[in-house]
């Protein structure tokens, strides 16, 4: 089973955003969608989530057309974490996460539904906030609630649109570790729109680079991260190093200046 996007095109009015995008993410794969602002990362996640409808192309999972699937059934397969989301003013964290069970709930939540919600809250480190109104949370805390809600949905495909943008470094790492463990342990296919190339290289096993609405690189980060290509796409001279610890990308401006022959480093006073 895999998530497959074929020949997807999309435009906002007459401004093309995606032009014939093709990609495949294997079952249990963790794929990073990369590219500068305006390259189409968020638009593509919204199309798969059915927030937006493409002008052309198909999206399928395990051979099933996700764009033609009834909404409730689609929600049993795909969960989506937007960059931010409004919630009812008086809704608590637990109530917000329980919304993730909506595609599975009959007349009322079961004991099993509540156990899944509690496990998701615990997984995201939100237990102490579970009864707090969403209106009292910081942006980073609210973002973790959205991720917990998506996991409570128990999807086969998890879409995340820049989920770490509002998080501090600790929670960025913990969130990416959680998503990686979900893909490896539960076989969930994850697609994350993200800006941090080094986080993508460390946590993801596939990197898809978009530029001008087209896929210009697709593969393991060690293969997809080409110095010349990244420099062109981002408009910045970068260096890519490969070693036992993995792949690292950094601006060329941060490279140490080599010493000229016959000179020695200055000693500090």
CATH code where residue 191 lies: 3.40.50.300
Per-residue confidence band for 269, with pLDDT thresholds at 50, 70 and 90:
very low
Report the alpha-carbon angle 43-49-54, nearest 5.
55
Domain count, the chain: 1
Per-residue confidence band for 245, with pLDDT thresholds at 50, 70 and 90:
confident
Q: Strands across the sheet with 206-211, in order? A: 78-81, 157-161, 189-193, 30-34, 206-211, 214-219
Class of residue 147 by CB neighbours under 10 A (exposed 0-12, middle 13-18, buried 19+) = buried
Q: Range of 73's domain?
A: 2-221
* Partners of residue 214 on adjacent β-strands: 211
Report if residue 249 sits inside a domain: no
Report if residue 37 sits inside a domain: yes
Q: What is the pLDDT of residue 260?
A: 57
The alpha carbon dihedral of 245, 214, 11, 67 has a sign of: negative
Q: What is the pLDDT of residue 268?
A: 46
- The β-bridge relationship of strands 238-243 and 78-81 is unpaired
Q: How far, in Å, are 29, 117, 118, 157, 201 from residue 106 at the CA level?
A: 31, 16, 19, 22, 41
Asked if pLDDT for residue 157 goes beyond 60, the answer is yes
Report if residue 146 sits inside a domain: yes
Report if residue 248 sits inside a domain: no
Report the alpha-carbon angle 147-153-158, nearest 5.
60
Report if residue 265 sits inside a domain: no
Asked if pLDDT for residue 156 goes beyond 50, the answer is yes
Which residues make Cβ contacts (< 8 Å) with residue 39, sequence separation at least 6? 210, 211, 212, 213, 233
* Portion of the chain with pLDDT greater than 90, in percent: 75
**Closest by CA position to 75, among listed 171, 7, 18, 158:** 158
Asked if pLDDT for residue 87 goes beyond 80, the answer is no
How far apart, in whole angstroms, are the C-alpha atoms of residue 216 and residue 224?
9
DSSP letter assigned to residue 92: B
The predicted model gives 178-207 an average pLDDT of 95
Phi–psi pair at 187, nearest 5 degrees: 70, 20
Q: How far, in Å, are 26, 68, 70, 79, 227 from residue 65 at the CA level?
A: 16, 6, 10, 16, 37
The predicted model gives 103-122 an average pLDDT of 92
Q: What is the pLDDT of residue 242?
A: 85
Per mean pLDDT, which of 46-50, 170-174, 260-264 is the most reliable? 46-50
Report if residue 110 sits inside a domain: yes
Which residues make Cβ contacts (< 8 Å) with residue 217, sequence separation at least 6? 207, 208, 209, 224, 225, 226, 229
* Partners of residue 161 on adjacent β-strands: 193
Report if residue 241 sits inside a domain: no
Q: What is the pLDDT of residue 128?
A: 95
Report if residue 231 sits inside a domain: no
């Amino acid at each position: 089973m895999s998530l497959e996007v074929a020949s997807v095109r999309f435009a906002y009015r007459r401004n093309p955003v995606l032009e014939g995008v093709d990609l495949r993410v294997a079952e249990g794969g963790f794929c990073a969608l990369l590219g500068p602002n305006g390259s189409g990362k968020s638009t593509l996640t919204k199309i798969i989530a059915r927030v937006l409808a493409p002008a052309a192309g198909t999206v399928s999972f395990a051979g099933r057309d996700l764009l033609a699937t009834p909404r409730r059934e689609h929600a049993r397969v795909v969960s989506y974490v937007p960059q931010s989301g409004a919630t009812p003013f008086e809704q608590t964290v637990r109530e917000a996460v329980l919304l993730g069970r909506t595609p599975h709930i009959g007349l009322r939540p079961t004991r099993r539904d509540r156990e899944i919600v509690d496990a998701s809250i615990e997984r995201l480190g939100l237990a102490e906030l579970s009864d707090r109104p969403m209106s009292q949370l910081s942006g980073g805390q609210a973002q973790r609630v959205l991720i917990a809600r998506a996991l409570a949905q128990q999807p086969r495909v998890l879409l995340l649109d820049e989920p770490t943008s509002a998080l501090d470094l600790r929670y960025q790492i913990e969130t990416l570790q959680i998503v990686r463990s979900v893909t490896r342990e539960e076989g969930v296919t994850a697609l994350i729109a993200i800006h941090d190339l080094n986080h993508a290289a460390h946590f993801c096993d596939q990197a898809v680079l978009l530029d001008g609405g087209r896929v210009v690189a697709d593969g393991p980060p060690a293969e997809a991260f080409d110095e010349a290509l990244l420099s062109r796409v981002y408009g910045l001279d970068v260096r890519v190093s490969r070693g036992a610890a993995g792949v690292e990308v950094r601006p060329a401006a941060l490279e140490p200046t080599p010493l000229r022959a016959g000179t020695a480093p200055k000693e500090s006073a």
